A = this chain, B = another copy of it.
Amino acid sequence: MVTERLVQNIVNTSYEELPQRVLQHAKKSLLNWIGVTIGAINHETVDILMDITDELSKERQVTILGRNLKKDVLSAALINGTSSHIFDFDDTHLETIHHPSSPVAPVVFALGEKYDIPTKDLLRAFILGCEVELRISNAVYPSHYQVGYHITSSVGVFGAAVAAGILLKLNDEQMAMALGLAGTQSFGLREMFGTMTKPFHPGKAAQNGLLSALLAEKGFTSSKQVLEAKRGFANVYSPSHDLDKVLVNWGEVWELEKNAFKPYACGIVLHPAIDACISLREFAAPEEVKEIALKVHPYVLELTAKQTPKTGLEGKFSIYHTGAIAFLEKDASEDQYQDEKVHDPKTIALREKINPLADEQMAKDRVLATLEKYDGGTHNVYIEHATGSLENPMTQHMLNEKFTKLCKKTLNEEQIEQVIEKMNRFDELDSIQRVIECL
């Protein structure tokens, strides 16, 4: 029954029923998604996918963002979806560690461009795709994640199928079949974290979800009870689960509103420390610093205790590098995690003065930072909610700045301004082409 009722909810929720604040949040999510996708689009991970898909198809249907060329819809969904997760800089539903946009937005862009679908329909497909995947994640988290599944792909595939299903105007029966096909293609092991295969997961989930809807559209049959069946998704993929969470308060509570944007290009556990080190800049120049003590929950150090990172990527797992570079450069974006930055003598000198202290009493998302200067002066900064948390979200201005930083190597200033402006009124555009022509 859960799957059937979910399908009814999806099909019967019109654009007009979507609250303004949800639409606003969706437009921010899409802007953020375009930014992280373009930011990583020249990464080696993408190069390999480009090569392989070149040999499989010469169809030029929809755009690879930031690459100025087109591919067939399934390849484009794979590649754009993968690119958007390479930096681990995409949006996050904090309650389930699910990154909602990366499997769904590539499908919206692929079908939107191919069929030139009105932007309001695209927003509806994006919002409902995200809503479904996040509600299913609520139902299986944390059990599903603890078993070892990468929830962004293993559950994200449902979101991709729903978005595609809406854009292909599937009826109830077809939408149920699409969910069945999506659920049976669920995949993604957390063992792959730290390799190219991690970002491949949401890309492939986008592709699998899109394929599911394409098959259902043509009459392909699958199960209509994929969520609740004895050998269906929840029972097989999640030892404990509560499927009531899929339907509860539909249309009243929107999970997409709980979607947070990361201001910094590293794990969220380090964000309070970054905020703190940036705040401490006003009290001392780097050469005046004797020590920066960072009192954090022990969990933070479990993940980020790397004292001498050898690469920029390792720097993301180092509270020493991250604290130092944030103090020096007032930021922790991809620029601050380039290989040369972890080898820079100035950063190294300062990171040796970072002194993290584990304290069970600190909440995981907080930090107490104490700056001690050579002249004896001390300053404290307490971060209660880091930038990018739900309590202290990134403003539109901050999102625009993040977007600009991510895109500046690929797009010129005018293009960047145009994309920001157009995504801000995406629902009023006559076509998604107005955005894509700037990319």
A-B contact pairs, 6 of them (CB 8 A): A44-B219, A52-B215, A56-B72, A184-B201, A189-B223, A191-B236
Whether a CB of chain B sits under 8 angstroms from the CB of A218 is yes
Whether a CB of chain B sits under 8 angstroms from the CB of A8 is no
Residue in B191, B221, B232 whose CB lies within 8 Å of A229: B191
Question: With A57-B57, A147-B236, A236-B149 known to touch, is A215 a contact of B184 (CB < 8 Å)?
Answer: no
* Interface residue stretch chosen among A31-39, A99-107, A192-200, A396-404: A192-200
Residue in B190, B196, B218, B236 whose CB lies within 8 Å of A231: B190
Which has the most chain B C-beta neighbours within 10 Å: A56, A180, A219, A223? A56
| Total identical chains | 2
Whether a CB of chain B sits under 8 angstroms from the CB of A21 is no
B180–A231 CB distance below 8 A: no
Q: How far is the CA of A349 from the CA of B345 in the complex (A)?
A: 92
B58–A226 CB distance below 8 A: no
Chain A, 7-18, contact with B by CB distance < 8 Å: what is the 0/1 string?
000000000000
Whether a CB of chain B sits under 8 angstroms from the CB of A204 is yes
Whether a CB of chain B sits under 8 angstroms from the CB of A84 is no
Q: Please give, as numbers and ranges, the residues of chain B lying within 8 Å of A45 by CB-CB distance.
A: 220
Chain A residues with CB under 8 Å of chain B are: 44-45, 48-49, 51-52, 55-59, 72-75, 147-149, 180-181, 183-192, 195-197, 200-201, 204, 211, 214-215, 218-223, 225-226, 229-233, 235-236
Q: How far is the CA of A230 from the CA of B181 in the complex (A)?
A: 28
Question: With A191-B223, A230-B191, A236-B149 known to touch, is A218 a contact of B186 (CB < 8 Å)?
Answer: no
A197–B218 CB distance below 8 A: no
Q: How far is the CA of A218 from the CA of B200 in the complex (A)?
A: 14
Question: With A52-B215, A221-B196 known to touch, is A231 a contact of B58 (CB < 8 Å)?
Answer: no
B57–A72 CB distance below 8 A: yes
Residue in B57, B149, B181, B183 whose CB lies within 8 Å of A59: B57
B218–A195 CB distance below 8 A: no
Report the nearest B residue to A44, measured CB to CB: B219
